[in-house]
Structure formats: structure tokens, C-alpha cells
Structure 1
Amino acid sequence: MTRSRILCISFSDIRSDARVLRQLDVLARYGDVTTLSYGGRPDAAVDHLEIDHNLPSLPQTLPGVVKLALRRFSSVVLDAPAVKSAKELLGQREFDLVVANEARALPVAFEVAGSPKIWCDLHEWAPAERTHVLSWRLLVAPFMHWVCAQYLPRVDAATTINNSIAEMYSDQFGVRTEIVRNARPFVPELSPSPAEHGRIRLVHSGGAVPGRNIEAIIDAVDTLGEGYSLDLFLIPSRQGDAYWQQLLNRISRSPRTTLHAAVPPDELPTALNPYDLGVFLLPPHTPNHRLMLPNKFFDFVQARLGMVYGTSIETDRLITEYGLGLITPGYEARDLVDALRATTPEQVQGFKRAADEVAEQMSSDGDVSVAERIMRRLTGG
């Protein structure tokens, strides 16, 4: 029997994109996968088309910006440098199924030869991806809304990360999206690490991106003083060299903060396991921030950590329901300081035990089932 020809498009480096890596594990069971992305070939792909990492995936050239400003979206939709490169790399290759990761990959997906089925995996609410940035809000947000309106009603399957965002896609674009969370596979060999006498060990992992509020966590641990430490596992931003240097300078001035190199996604739970509380204080600058249910939430659970999150609809619900940790009412250093000063080491160990109890329930097993159901439907497998 001939295996399906599957194309997976992602304007990211898939090798460090945990969500797409999990997706590839499913795709590879149903066909031969070609990846089209920044960075090198992921292990699950049989072929790879690499986009130059210096090429932006949105129309940021001067002609492109002018077209965005004039709302000439149909004439700019294939103008982004990375999109042009993707089309050239694809040429006339034919595929049976295309998986477009995020809405910005949809225009390329619909250019692929062979009349493929199209599955769009919407990692977040696309029209508001970076609306905390004025230029993005004025120029790109209307374009992304147009892309969703033009292409989403024509896809054969759509997924997103939680019910709140799924309802928005349904209300605004009439698209039924199935839920594939950012959960990761169950790690059965881990258990909560023992407490360290006299110290609560905080940890944060993820991209070193402006707006992630990492500085507030550093300020908090410095204010808390003896009895607290912070370890950071950070991926430098591809576009944020200046910010990365500023962050390195801030870390170097903190006697209680230690920076570690990023680890591969599969190794992250084991790397985080020795700590006590995973921390994320993301201010709700966009709807995606307000409705987030990020990878790191599930990373912390599989690592058997308690957690501290700034208040957010989806994470508040799960933290409260399962007793997983603390919710701060705000997103500043003093909010974290107040929350931690009111928490005992015994409570922290209780949060870690709660994570251990729900780790299998909160694994990616259910999400894999959804993805496999979609693949059987689209490939006839």
C-alpha cells in the first residue's frame, strides 16, 4: 500500500518546537513526512526543505508594509520573504496532506500542488498574536484576520489549544476546531524531588522573549533573599539579540539566579525535576496571554513541580481544580514576593504531590487520540 505524502509547514525551528515535534510523531505513523521550516531536519521527517532563518514570515519589506497599510491583502499574501522562499523550495512537489502550523502558513499550504487535504493547527488566536506591539496591531492584525477569514473555512480540519480559543474561531470564522492541548507525553519514571532544607527552588523555562516578564521573577527572588533561588533554562530569541544581552546583564547582577543552556524538549521534565516551583508571570497584553495554556504548564506537571502563575483564565481553572500551586493577582515582582512569603515549604511539597497525582491524566494521550482521528479521516488510514 502506498504511504501518504505529507507536508508539515511551520515557520519555526521544528527541532525546538515541542508542539510540532509531538505532531510529527503522529504524522510519521500515517505517511512519509516532508518538513518545511527554519532550521535543520527533524528526526521524524524523511525529507526537509529549510527556509533561511533570516527571512521573516510576514510581509515586512517596504512594499509589503505599504500594501498592509492600504489593506491590499490579496496582493501581499504571498509576498513575505519566507513565504516566497517556501514556494520556491516546494516547486511542483505534490502532496496528499498538508499540515499548516498557525494561520500564517495557510497561504503556502493552499499553493501546494496535488490538491492535498489541509489540516491547520492553530497554536493560538492568530489575529492577536502580537497585538501588544503597535505596528503589529495596526498593520499585521487586520491582515491575519483576513487570512483566517479567507482560508480557514476551506480547510479539512482545524485544531487549537483550548476551548476558550476554539470558541473564538467558531464565533468569528464559523470554523469548528478540535482541541489538541500543549500537553506532553507522560513521564512515569519521575516523582517529586525531596525538599531542600531552608530553600525553595524556583525555575522558569522557555524563550527569552521581550514581554515574557522574566525580569520580574529575577527581581522577586532577589527581594526574597535567603531561602530562595531561581534557575533559568532559556532559549535566546532569534530576533532579540539586544534583549538577550540586556537579560544576561540582569542575570549577572542577581546573586540568586543561575542561567542554564536550553535543553531539548524531551529532556526538559528531567532537567526541571530537582526544583520546587515553576514560575510564569505573563501579563495579559493580548487575548492569547489572557487565554493561554502553554507548553510550560504541562512541562511543570510532568516534572512533578508545583507552579506559580499570574492569573489567566485557563491556567487558573486547572491550578485551582487540582491544587497545583499558586495564582498571583498581578504580574509584578511584588505579587510573586507576596505569594511566596505566604506559602510554607509543606504547602510547596503538597503542590508537587498534586502534580504527581495528575501527571498521567494531564499527559498528551488524549491529544494524540484527537490527532490520530484527524489523520485517519484525512488519509483514509
Structure 2
Amino acid sequence: MTRPRILCISFSDIRSDARVLRQLDVLARFGDVTTLSYGGRPDAASDHLEIDRSLPSLPQTPRGVMKLALRRFAAVALDAPAVKAAKTLLGDREFDVVVANEARALPLSFEVAGSPKIWCDLHEWAPAERTHVLSWRLLVAPFMHWVCARYLPRVDAATTINRSIAELYHDQFGVDADIVRNARPFVPELVPSPVEPGRIRLVHSGGAVPGRNIEAIIDAVDALGDAYSLDLFLIPSRQGDAYWQQLVRRISQSPRTTLHPAVAPDELPAALNPYDLGVFLLPPHTPNHRLMLPNKFFDFVQARLGMIFGTSVETDRLITEHRLGLITQGFHAIDLVETLKGIKPEQVQEYKHAADDIASEMSSDVDIAVEESILRRLIVV
């Protein structure tokens, strides 16, 4: 019996895109998967079409920018260099299901041969992806809104990362999106580590990207004194090394901060487990920041850590509901200092045990069940 043909489109390097990798593992159980993306073939794919990574996935050519400025969105929908290349790579290949990762993949998805069912996985609120950048806000944001309005009502399934963003898609585009969080697999072998006497060990992991406010965490730990330490597991920015070198210099000047090499995603919970509190202090530069439910939240839960987050809608709700840690009311070093000073070791230990209590519930098992349900509905056996 012929297996269903599934196309997974992502304008990312899927091999380093944890969300799409988890998605691929599910897709591969339901059919033969062809991936269309930057970078090489992911392990779970049966076939792969590689887009030249130098090609942008938005219409950033002079002609494309002019069309964006003139609001000629229908004329520019398939104009981005990466989209043109992807369409050529696809040719007349036919598929039964297309998974479009993020709204920018939707116009191409509707060009795929074979009258496939289309599932769009919206990793965030697409119209506000980079609205802190003026050119994006003026030119690209209206285009992304048009893409959502034109294509989302026609998809056969939609998913997004949390309840707040799902409500936005429903209110503005009439789409009922299921929720697939950025949760990671359950790590049953980990338990909360004990708090060391006389010291609270803070930890932060992720990309060393400008705007992530890592400097504020370092400044706060330096101000808090010897009862606190900070360990950083950072991935250098792909935007060039200037920011990275500046950040490394700042870390070297901190007597309480230690920089570690980044670890593989599967190894991250075990690497974080010896620490006490995971810290993330992201200012709400965009609606997506304000409504975030990031990988870090789930990393910290599986590592059985307590957590300190800057205030945001979704993480505030979960941290409060499950008593996982503390919430800063601002995003400066002083806000973190005020939140942390005077915290008791037994309080930290309670947060860590609370994370342990919900580790299974907050694992990707819940999200995999949602994805499996979608595929059973879309694939006609």
C-alpha cells in the first residue's frame, strides 16, 4: 500500500529548528516526508529539497520592496527569491498533505500540485513578527496580514503556540487554531537537585541575540552579591560576531558569571538540572514577546528548575497557576534584583518540586497527540 506523500515547508534550517524537528518525527509516522528548507536533509525526511541559504524568504529585492510599498501583495506573494527557488525545486511533484511552517510559506503551499490538504503551523503571531524594525513594520507587516487574511481561511488545519495567539488568529482571521506548544519531550530520569547552602545558582540558555537582555541578568547578579551566581549556555548570534564579542567581554568582567558552550537540545535539561532558577528577562518589543510561551519555559520545567521571568501574559499565568517561581514587573537589572533579593532556599526548592510535578503535563506528549489527531483527519487511508 502506498504511503501518503507529505511535504513539509520551512524557511529555516530544519536541523536546528526544534519545533519543526519534533513535527517531522510525527509526520514520518504517517507518510513519506519531503522537506523543503534551507540546510541539509533532516534525519526524519525521506527526501529533501534544499533552498540556497543566501536567498531571502521575503520579497526584499528592489522590485519586491516597490510592490510592497504599493500594496501590490498578490503580485509579490510568490516573488521572494527563496520562494521562487522553492517553486522551481518542487516542479510538478504531487503531495497529499502540505505542512506550511509559518504564514510566509502559505502562498507557496497553495501552488503545490496534487490538490493537497494544507496544515499551517503558525509559530507566532505572523503580522507582528518583527514590528520593532521600522522597515518591517511599514512594508512587511501589512503583507503578512494580507497573507493571513487571504490564505488562512482556506487551510484544512491550523496550529499555533498558545491560547493568547490562537485567540488573535480567531478574532482577526476567523481561524480556529489548535495549540501545539514549544514543549520538549518528557525527561523522566531527572529530579530536582538540592539547593546548595549559601548560594542560589541562576542559569540562562539560548541564543546570544541582541535584545535578549542578557546583560541585565549579568548586572543583577553582580549587584546581588556572593549569595548568587549565574551560568550561561549561549549560542553565538548568526548576525555576526560583534555583539558576541561584546557580550563575552561583559561576562569576563563579572566575578559571578560563567559562560559555557552551547549543548545539543537533547542534552539541555540534564545540563541545566544542577542549577536552581532559570531566568529570562525579555522586554516586550513586539506583541509576540508580550504573548510569548518560549522554549525556555519548557526547558526549565524538564530540567526541574524554578524560574524567574519578566512579566508576559502566558508565562505569568502558568508560573502563577503552578507556583513555579517569580515574575519581575520590569525588565531592568534592578527589577530582577528586587525580585530575587531575600529569596529563601526552601522557597527555591518548592519551585523546583513544582516543576517536577508538572513535567509530564508540560511535555511534548500533549502536543504530539494534537498533531496526530490533525493528521488522522487530513489523511484519507
Q: Which TM class, normalised by the smaller chain length?
A: over 0.9
Report the Cα offset of residue 364 of structure 1.
Answer: 1.6
Cα separation, 2, equivalents of 1:253 and 1:87:
50
Report the Cα offset of residue 246 of structure 1.
Answer: 2.6
Question: 1:257 is matched by which residue type in structure 2?
Answer: T
Partner of 2:205: 205
Question: 2:339 is matched by which residue type in structure 1?
Answer: A
Corresponding residue SS for 1:243: helix
**Can you list the C-alpha shifts for 1:147-184, whole angstroms capped at 9, x where unaligned?**
11111111110001111111111111111111111111
**Can you list the C-alpha shifts for 1:325-345, whole angstroms capped at 9, x where unaligned?**
010000111111111113112
Partner of 1:11: 11
Corresponding residue SS for 2:29: coil
Q: How does 1:165-314 map to 2 (within 5 A)?
A: 165-314=165-314
2:151 corresponds to 1:151: yes
TM-score by length of 2: 0.96
Question: 1:31 is matched by which residue type in structure 2?
Answer: G
Cα separation, 1, equivalents of 2:339 and 2:138:
37
Report the Cα offset of residue 88 of structure 1.
Answer: 2.1
Question: 2:306 is matched by which residue type in structure 1?
Answer: G
TM-score by length of 1: 0.96
Corresponding residue SS for 2:194: coil
Partner of 1:341: 341
Report the Cα offset of residue 272 of structure 1.
Answer: 1.1
**Can you list the C-alpha shifts for 1:354-381, whole angstroms capped at 9, x where unaligned?**
1011111111222111100000011125
Partner of 1:118: 118
Partner of 1:322: 322
Residue ranges of structure 1 left out of the alignment (5+ in a row): none
Q: After superposing the two structures, state which structure 1 stretch, 317-326 or 356-365, moved more.
A: 356-365
Question: Retained in 2: the 8 A contact 1:276–1:306?
Answer: yes
Corresponding residue SS for 1:278: strand
Cα separation, 2, equivalents of 1:257 and 1:9:
40
Corresponding residue SS for 1:258: strand
Cα separation, 2, equivalents of 1:50 and 1:218:
40
What percentage of residue pairs aligned between the two structures are identical? 82
Report the Cα offset of residue 240 of structure 1.
Answer: 4.4
**Can you list the C-alpha shifts for 1:60-108, whole angstroms capped at 9, x where unaligned?**
2222222211111112111222212212222222211110111011112
2:75 corresponds to 1:75: yes
Cα separation, 1, equivalents of 2:105 and 2:59:
13
Partner of 1:354: 354
Cα separation, 1, equivalents of 2:14 and 2:304:
26
Cα separation, 2, equivalents of 1:52 and 1:242:
25
CA RMSD of aligned residues (A): 1.4
Cα separation, 1, equivalents of 2:306 and 2:98:
38
Cα separation, 1, equivalents of 2:214 and 2:56:
25
Distance 1:218 1:365, change over 3 A: same
Question: Retained in 2: the 8 A contact 1:209–1:240?
Answer: no
Report the Cα offset of residue 319 of structure 1.
Answer: 0.5
Partner of 2:65: 65
Distance 1:251 1:179, change over 3 A: same
Q: After superposing the two structures, state which structure 1 stretch, 242-251 or 63-72, moved more.
A: 242-251
Report the Cα offset of residue 237 of structure 1.
Answer: 2.9
Report the Cα offset of residue 36 of structure 1.
Answer: 1.3
Residue ranges of structure 2 left out of the alignment (5+ in a row): none
Aligned pair count?
A: 381
Question: 1:200 is matched by which residue type in structure 2?
Answer: I
Corresponding residue SS for 2:55: coil
Distance 1:166 1:201, change over 3 A: same
Corresponding residue SS for 1:55: coil
**Can you list the C-alpha shifts for 1:255-287, whole angstroms capped at 9, x where unaligned?**
322222222222211111111111111111111
Cα separation, 1, equivalents of 2:363 and 2:173:
30
Cα separation, 1, equivalents of 2:10 and 2:176:
22
Distance 1:232 1:51, change over 3 A: farther
Report the Cα offset of residue 11 of structure 1.
Answer: 1.4
Corresponding residue SS for 1:53: coil
Cα separation, 2, equivalents of 1:5 and 1:109:
14
Cα separation, 2, equivalents of 1:258 and 1:58:
38
Cα separation, 2, equivalents of 1:343 and 1:37:
46
Corresponding residue SS for 2:189: coil
Question: Retained in 2: the 8 A contact 1:160–1:180?
Answer: yes
Cα separation, 2, equivalents of 1:297 and 1:187:
14
Corresponding residue SS for 1:361: coil
Corresponding residue SS for 1:121: strand
2:33 corresponds to 1:33: yes
Q: How does 1:121-136 map to 2 (within 5 A)?
A: 121-136=121-136
Corresponding residue SS for 1:28: helix
